[in-house]
Amino acid sequence: MTEPVIEFFWDPVSPYTYLASTRIEALALRVGAVLRWRPFLLGKVLEATGNRPNIDVPAKGRHMLADLARWAQHYGVPLVAPPIFPISTVTALRAGLAAEQAGRGPAFATAVMRAYWGEGRDISQAQTLLAVAAAAGLDGAALLAQTQEPAIKDALRSNTDEAVRRGAFGAPTFFVGEQMFWGNDRLGILEECLAGDLSA
């Protein structure tokens, strides 16, 4: 029997994506699924779909702070206010694609999200990304050089366009085939569907 594949479209600018990243690997193991980390540019997804970030809606923004704190406590993971929010994540996302080519995509993805949301570090800065790459077992200088390669730039655009084409409108977004699950709070539903406890 073919293992199911979970495609995890991620952007470290999203705090809920960070939260989901602390749980998705264990979930995939429990249900016997293959996990594919797919970097995509959330800002372009929001733009393409007419969606608005929580911070653009004052009531949602206020609620988000308390909600994030609850989720972090529930998961037992650190959460700090980053120095700049929102932040440009283009280079970090391209680095994620380069890390994937080196077989270290998940390690880099979790490290960069932990750096931003767990440690409050500025992941738009090259020095931070060099340190994140080292923590993920990668050559940071080589990785950053790859972020300027046309193929890497094209791959990020392609991932983003594909996510929108398949129905994504925010982050985190998960696909199992053409079934889409959106949000950290849908992880339980995703797991039940993969376990066969819920119909698609």
What positions carry a catalytic annotation?
A: 14
- Beta-bridge partners for 6: 35
Whole-angstrom distance, CA of residue 123 vs CA of residue 153: 18
Q: Which amino acid is at 178?
A: E
- Per residue, the 3-state secondary structure of 9-41, as one string, reads EECCCCHHHHHHHCCHHHHHHHHCCEEEEEECC
Q: Could you tell me where the DSSP H helices lie in the chain?
A: 15-21, 24-31, 42-49, 58-75, 90-101, 105-113, 126-135, 140-146, 150-165, 187-195
As a residue count, the chain comes to: 200
